[in-house]
Chain A
Amino acid sequence: MTTISQARFLRLVVLLGALVAGGWVSAFAAAVELKLQAQLVWGTNERVSSEAGLKEVDTALQARLRNVFKWQTYYEITRKPVAVTTAKPQTAKLSDDCTIEVKQLAANRIEVKLIGKGRPVVTHTLELRPATPLVIGGDDKNNTAWFVVITQTDKA
């Protein structure tokens, strides 16, 4: 330490200051609110009467779901906005039986817990990617299926 020149020491201090500032900026970035959208979707091969009041999901999502799953029609049961930060997890009730809990773990990393009839069904952690929804699904009665589609809508 005694051999470090004054100028070199000051450079070291400036460098460390810059690193600390970078750390704070990074931590602040991680605290940015993530805006998500959660949809509960029902997939079936039957046409449902319009009297049921069900609305089909938008054409683009319907096409994508059709290309991956066997069902031909996908109805949107619920759509809920979910805004999360690292400090504020969110719970969204999508139906009487279906709830999701979303936690932000890092800037673009979230944990999604699916709860069915009060019981945790699955917990999934993932890195959010642009225009790449997370689709959690399962068999339902009468050869139908349910889906929870979580999409990133925007960053605040």
Chain B
Amino acid sequence: MKLEQELKLQAWLDGEASPDEAREVEQLLANDAHFAALAGELRMSKGILAGSEPEAVKLPESREFYFSKISREIERLERQPAPAARSVWASAWMRILAPVTGVAALTLILSLPDRSNTGVDETENTIKESTVIQFHSTTEKMDVIWIHSDVDPMPDVSSPDLSTKPDRDDNN
């Protein structure tokens, strides 16, 4: 099969062959089984391709109409009035509540308890000649401040006088 014959076959299938070429192709189809098979394949390909071709894109509206709609929407928005000013009621409330809010915030700050003294336990030893040891007994659950004096005598705080009856004031 010659290339020229194949091109004529393609032209025939596309309906572009001249009457002479069409007769020649039809004779070949009748006499040449291989040529007829090729024609079948080309027909099938043409059908598949033609079926797969997308339809022509059609816009629902013209380009001019589309852009004119955008232009009209812009003009409509520009013609809209500015948002209405706050109502008289709201303005009056604002004038009252703004200072009230400020006073409330100030009162809040002043009414909060003083946290400056919070934190860890602190011990101040006011006797220079003594040493203070601080610890917490976890087993016995007690905080202990032990005062050890380097000089003798340290300022006693108890010194129970066993010869006298101790002062008692039981209220529990």
Q: Which residues of A contact B (CB under 8 A)?
A: 1-2, 6, 9-10, 12-13, 16-17, 19-20, 23-24, 26-27, 30, 37, 40, 42, 48, 52-54, 64-65, 67-68, 75, 77-81, 94-95, 97-98, 105-107, 109, 114-117, 119-127, 129, 131-141, 146-148, 153
Check if A75 sits within 8 Å of B143, measured CB to CB. Answer: no
Check if A153 sits within 8 Å of B172, measured CB to CB. Answer: yes
How many A-B contacts at CB < 8 Å in the complex? 196
Residues of A close to B169: CB separation below 8 A:
78-81
Residues of B close to A13: CB separation below 8 A:
97, 100-101, 104
Check if A124 sits within 8 Å of B122, measured CB to CB. Answer: yes
For the complex formed, measure the closest distance between the CB of B105 and the CB atoms of chain A, giving whole angstroms: 6
User: Residue B7 at the A interface, CB < 8 A?
Assistant: no
User: Of the candidates B143, B148, B160, which one forms a contact with A132 in the assembled complex, judged by CB atoms under 8 Å apart?
Assistant: B143
Check if B147 sits within 8 Å of A30, measured CB to CB. Answer: no
Task: Provide the main secondary structure of the chain A interface.
Answer: strand
**Size class of B's contact patch?**
35 or more
User: Residue B93 at the A interface, CB < 8 A?
Assistant: yes
A13 to B90, CA, bound (A): 14
Residues of B close to A17: CB separation below 8 A:
104
User: Residue B157 at the A interface, CB < 8 A?
Assistant: yes
Q: Which B residues from 149 to 166 make CB contacts under 8 A with A?
A: 149, 153-160, 162, 165-166
